[in-house]
Amino acid sequence: MPVASFDIYCRMLDRAREGRFAYPAINVTSLTTANAVLKGLAESGSDGIIQISTGGAAFASGTAVKDMPLGAISIAEHVHRVAERYPIYVALHTDHCPADKLETFVLPLVAETERRRAAGLPNLFNSHMFDGSALPLAENLEIAAKLLERFKASELILEIEAGVVGGEEDGIKAEANAKLYTTPEDTLEVARRLNSIGARYLLAATFGNVHGVYKPGAVKLRPSVLKECQDAVVAQYGEATRFHLVFHGGSGSELHEIHEALDYGVVKMNIDTDTQYAFTRPIAAHMFSHYDGVLKVDGEVGDKKAYDPRTYLALAEAGMAERVKRAVTELRGTGTTLFRG
Ligand SMILES: [Zn+2]
């Protein structure tokens, strides 16, 4: 199916919150990783989200070019074309963009969508994240409000973050003393500041979640923080203001923690580290078990079939697709696609 329209994306998010399931939002950096996500989603009968980080976008444009908007547009255009061949909906999103990169990443992509809409074409992306979590909340929401006004005109959904996701992802590292748990007061302020704009947004509220992977027990997740935040906003502003929440740093989380977060309104769970590993693992196996084919050992000529990148990249695609399927299962999303032949 085509990339989800704004209406379909809104329905996806609403149905997930009502049904207490969520969409995996998987970071991709290449055509092959994007294809892996589509394959995994299709085999699960689940809609989902493909997302691109600033670093992933720069990489996708080529190491000699390193142009973030160009790389993001390239992957998005590929997904728009090939998604037609899969029986699910996918939404396109950009991941963490700090304030100092808005001008060079998100805003050029918004301008691209505005150009397309003016020409009668569909949006390039469905949503973009602005990560103002390193700023004081008032400043974070000041920027978010301006973005949301502009996004509203183009049916783009904004994702914001209140509180700080720990750990490190794509070179963005949280401070050691960062605020890892969002408070109900923070989220009330988010609703007070943004809801009057009348546009859709997603909220990444933090509850001890971290980027990267940690050994079991190393992370103290408190999903109840999400419930406290939802209860506060519903009490103050009514049921219609219940948030659509995003779970960052989903890799390495335990199933009961994931399920509890879904019960409290998480509709999107970001996964990067685990799908990176799932992509690389079969490549490692291939290289180790065919070392005398991928290398020219002792004057031999190697084995062209073994070192043809398609051979191991197809294995990598399959490995990553399997991890996407596992994510869909854990997020209770199997068979939930809105697409009906
Ligand atoms: Zn994140």
Residue 231: active-site member? no
Q: How far is the CA of 272 from the centre of ligand 1 (A)?
A: 9
Which DSSP helix (H) or strand (E) runs through 24? strand 23-27
Would you place residue 179 in the very low, low, confident or very high pLDDT band (cuts 50, 70, 90)? confident
Q: How far is the CA of 93 from the centre of ligand 1 (A)?
A: 12
Q: How far is the CA of 211 from the centre of ligand 1 (A)?
A: 6
Q: How far is the CA of 165 from the centre of ligand 1 (A)?
A: 7
- Rounded alpha-carbon distances, angstroms, from residue 212 to 111, 227, 243, 262, 280: 32, 24, 25, 20, 15
Instruction: Give pLDDT, residue 220.
Output: 80
Q: Model pTM?
A: 0.95
Instruction: Give pLDDT, residue 180.
Output: 80
Q: Measured between alpha carbons, how far is 9 from 300 in angstroms, rounded to an integer?
A: 54
| Average pLDDT estimate for 215-244 | 90
Check pLDDT > 80 for residue 33: yes
Q: How many CB atoms lie within 10 A of CB 95?
A: 24
Q: Residues 95, 131, 186, 272: which is the catalytic one?
A: 95
Check pLDDT > 80 for residue 29: yes
Which stretch of 7-16, 35-44, 79-88, 249-258 has the lowest confidence by average pLDDT? Answer: 249-258
Which stretch of 56-60, 214-218, 313-317, 320-324 has the lowest confidence by average pLDDT? Answer: 214-218
Q: Which residue ranges form the domains of the chain, and what is each CATH number?
A: 6-330 (3.20.20.70)
Check pLDDT > 90 for residue 217: no
| Average pLDDT estimate for 308-320 | 98
Instruction: Give pLDDT, residue 62.
Output: 98
